[in-house]
Structure 1
Amino acid sequence: MSTLTVTTWSLEQTAPADLLPASPPAGDVRIVRAEVPSPEFSRFLYASVGGDVRWTDRLAWSYERWRELLEKPGVETWVAYDRGTPAGYIELDPQDDGAVEIAYFGLIPAFRGRRIGGHLLSYGVARAWDLSGRLPGRAETKRVWLHTCSKDGEHAMDNYLRRGFRLFDTKVAEEQEVAAPGPWPGARAV
Structure 2
Amino acid sequence: MSGGEDDLPERTIPVTITYLRMDQQPGRNPPPAPAIPHAVMRAEKPTVHFYRYLYNTVGERWVWTERRYMPDEELGEIVRDPDVEIMVLYVRGVPAGYAELDFRGLPETADLAYFGMMPDFIGMKLGPWFLHWAVSELWSRTPHAVTVNTCTADHPAALPMYQRMGFSPIRREEAMLRPMPA
> TM-score, normalized by length of structure 2?
0.85
- Paired residues of 1:20 and 1:162 also in contact (CA < 8 A): no
Distance (whole Å) between structure 1 residues aligned to residue 157 and residue 134 of structure 2: 17
The answer as to whether partners of 2:106 and 2:143 remain within 8 angstroms in 1 is no
Tell me if the contact between 1:11 and 1:168 (Cα under 8 Å) persists in the aligned partners. Answer: yes
Aligned to 1:136: none
- What one-letter code is carried by the residue in structure 1 that aligns with 2:14? T
The residue type paired with residue 101 of structure 1 is D
Give me the TM-score of the superposition, normalised by structure 1.
0.81
Q: 1:32 to 1:150 in 2, by over 3 A?
A: same
Deviates more, 1:163-172 or 1:17-26: 17-26
Match of 1:163 in 2: 165
Q: What is the letter of the counterpart of residue 124 of structure 2? A: R
Q: Deviations over 1:42-95 (max 9, x none)?
A: 111001100111111111333322221123231001111110000110001121
SS of equivalent to 2:74: helix
Partner of 1:108: 118
- 5+ unaligned residues in a row in structure 2: which ranges? 1-8
Going from structure 1 to structure 2, the CA distance change for 1:59 and 1:177 (only over 3 Å counts) comes to closer
CA positional deviation for 1:153? 0.5
Question: How many residues align structurally?
Answer: 172
**Which residue of structure 2 lines up, in the alignment, with residue 118 of structure 1?**
128
Q: Which amino acid aligns with 2:31?
A: A
RMSD value over aligned CA atoms? Answer: 2.1
Tell me, which stretches of 5 or more residues in structure 1 are unaligned?
Answer: 132-139
Determine which structure has more spread, i.e. the larger CA radius of gyration. 2
Percent of pairs with identical residues? 34
CA distance in 2, matches of 1:59, 1:20: 36
